[in-house]
Structure 1
């Protein structure tokens, strides 16, 4: 028996081929976010507790209040979020094309399921006027159980 086969923890079982491993591992990594979200929701439903990271806050800067309101309303109508705060007049300084720029922007705080962040980000890139819109998220670590339950219910499809 070769050295690799002798390290198999279950004698009598065939070793998986390298090709099998190469096919299964990428599929597992690609489905991990979806499986993690489903397991978090199942755990929350069974135990009645909140699992850290099931929801996120997404930050998006907009050039003016009207665009911020339009984006906020569209995100809510598409059930990509449960709530959006519009925070006026954030002063921003940033590098753009090698120069330091300064602007007054409107900040959106979007509360959503972590599983919806990739779809939300894609949608923002389609509708946002900036060449590279600022879109990033932070997972919620803790929160009021009643609020978090409301977040879930608010994003349920009709």
Structure 2
């Protein structure tokens, strides 16, 4: 009487297929973490700036005082090194099926890309808008001295 084969990896080419799929899936799932780590390692070893290491976060605020309060908190918590508050802008947008119009103040926050999720989380909690306009754009290039200054501004004491 034949014994059923023990459970184990499939034989031959099927084993290679499963192994290849596993490696590709693992690489795909860990890519963001590996990419961030490789940027950090490259910058540390060479002293060169890697595109995308820093970002600018855009936040529309209802007035200058709220923009100042948000900027001060973010700077105080070392989530960013710099913030600019641009004067009144006119905004037109759809809200609940209607076209709305208002004046807002634009807050630009310069930070490390790795800190952007923390800035977003704070905005969800502290921003007075039901759905705050918060988005970021990675910096492609920048003056090395300025980027070093940004880095130093976010170091914990």
Q: Alpha-carbon deviations, 1:57-89, whole Å to 9, x = none?
A: 000000001000000000001111010000010
2-side partners of 1:41 and 1:157: how far apart?
Answer: 18
Aligned residues: 147
Q: How does 1:147-158 map to 2 (within 5 A)?
A: 147-158=146-157
Unaligned ranges ≥5, structure 1: 10-14
2-side partners of 1:17 and 1:36: how far apart?
Answer: 21
Unaligned ranges ≥5, structure 2: 1-10
Question: Counterpart of 2:122?
Answer: 123
Residue 108 of structure 1 pairs with residue 118 of structure 2: no
Distance 1:91 1:149, change over 3 A: same
TM-score normalized by the length of structure 2? 0.84
TM-score normalized by the length of structure 1? 0.83
Question: Counterpart of 1:91?
Answer: 90
Backbone CA RMSD of aligned residues:
2.4
1:48 Cα deviation from its structure 2 partner: 1.9
Q: Alpha-carbon deviations, 1:31-67, whole Å to 9, x = none?
A: 5434432321221121121110000000000000100
2-side partners of 1:3 and 1:65: how far apart?
Answer: 65
1-side partners of 2:107 and 2:154: how far apart?
Answer: 18
- Which has the higher Rg, Structure 1 or Structure 2? 2
2-side partners of 1:33 and 1:87: how far apart?
Answer: 33
